[in-house]
Amino acid sequence: MALVTYGDLTFDLQRKAIKNLHINVLPPEGHVRVSAPLNLSDTAIRIAVVRRLLWIRQQQAAFASQARQSERQLCSGESYYLWGRAYRLEVVPSSNVVSVKLQGGWIKLQAPLTYEAPRRELALQAWYRRLLQQRLPALLAKWEARLQVHAEFVGIKRMKTKWGSCNPDTKRIWLNLELVKKPPECLEFIVVHELVHLLERGHNSRFMALMDLHLPNWREQRTKLNQMPLAYNEWIY
């Protein structure tokens, strides 16, 4: 991947075995990534980028204005999201018990006094992961049946630039752990999006038609997802 500058715009250029040029603007800072066919000339790439310059600037402005939480210290009183709703955190000292649960409108994190913020964060992330894992089986069963596809593997991890990814060749899907903080319908949108990639690899007209057929309101869910407040260290497209 090469770093290219045209005027006051700098972007990453990656040449790949693809048919069409793609321009992506990535949060949190609005960095631009261009994927271009191997045989496309530098001049053609420059023209394509210049033609999309207004759109690029609009996307960068939107990311700059998007709400973000402040840096988290994992202490009582801070707010944390679960399924689209903000909850206050209560840190409860214990001798040797480590647990996280939702209780009385609070996320209660019980941990030894010796646990500093990084270890408390690990406990919270493990809790988030369990909740997302519990929600997935029914959702996958529902949509695999409707789409008549089957994912060989569905995993969860923190991802820097994507809500999810799918490898149609291996039928492996990864979902971003941060989805547990978003409304349930946003998780469903991403699950459907990645499963549809088992039917259509690219984001072409056939992919859009399949999304429209099976999840007609997917664009509204995508907008809702991308308008939710970002965590302090969350990078999403």
Residue 69 pLDDT: 53
Residue 233 pLDDT: 43
pLDDT band at 225 (very low <50, low <70, confident <90, very high): confident
β-bridge partners, 76: none
**How far is the C-alpha of 128 from the C-alpha of 75, rounded, in Å?**
17
Whether the per-residue pLDDT at 232 is higher than 50: the answer is: no
The number of beta carbons lying within 10 Å of the beta carbon of residue 206 is 13
127 with 203, same domain? yes
**180 in any annotated domain:** yes
Range of the structural domain that residue 18 is part of: 2-65
- If you average pLDDT over residues 12-25, what whole number do you get? 88
35 with 114, same domain? no
**How far is the C-alpha of 33 from the C-alpha of 237, rounded, in Å?**
11
Percent of the chain having pLDDT more than 70?
89
- N-term to C-term CA, the chain: 19
216 with 103, same domain? yes
Whether the per-residue pLDDT at 156 is higher than 80: the answer is: yes
3-state SS, residue 146: helix
**How far is the C-alpha of 114 from the C-alpha of 112, rounded, in Å?**
5
> Which is more confident, 140 or 26?
140
Which region among 17-21, 45-49, 157-161, 195-199 has the lowest average model confidence (pLDDT)?
157-161
**74 in any annotated domain:** no
In this structure, what token pair is assigned to residue 233?
Answer: 């260290």
Which region among 7-11, 115-119, 166-170 has the lowest average model confidence (pLDDT)?
7-11
58 with 89, same domain? no
Residue 180 pLDDT: 96
CB 23 within 8 A of CB 48: yes
101 with 217, same domain? yes
110 with 164, same domain? yes
CB 109 within 8 A of CB 100: yes
What does the pLDDT look like over 72-126, one tens digit per residue? 568 888 989 999 999 999 999 988 889 999 998 899 999 998 889 899 999 999 9
142 with 86, same domain? yes
Identify residue 39 by its one-letter amino acid code.
N
**How far is the C-alpha of 7 from the C-alpha of 200, rounded, in Å?**
37
100 with 48, same domain? no
86 with 164, same domain? yes
CATH number at 221 reads 3.30.2010.10
**237 in any annotated domain:** no
Identify residue 139 by its one-letter amino acid code.
L
156 with 121, same domain? yes
3-state SS, residue 45: helix
Phi (first) and psi of residue 137, to 5 degrees: -55, -45
187 with 162, same domain? yes
**105 in any annotated domain:** yes
Q: Indicate the number of domains in the chain.
A: 2
57 with 93, same domain? no
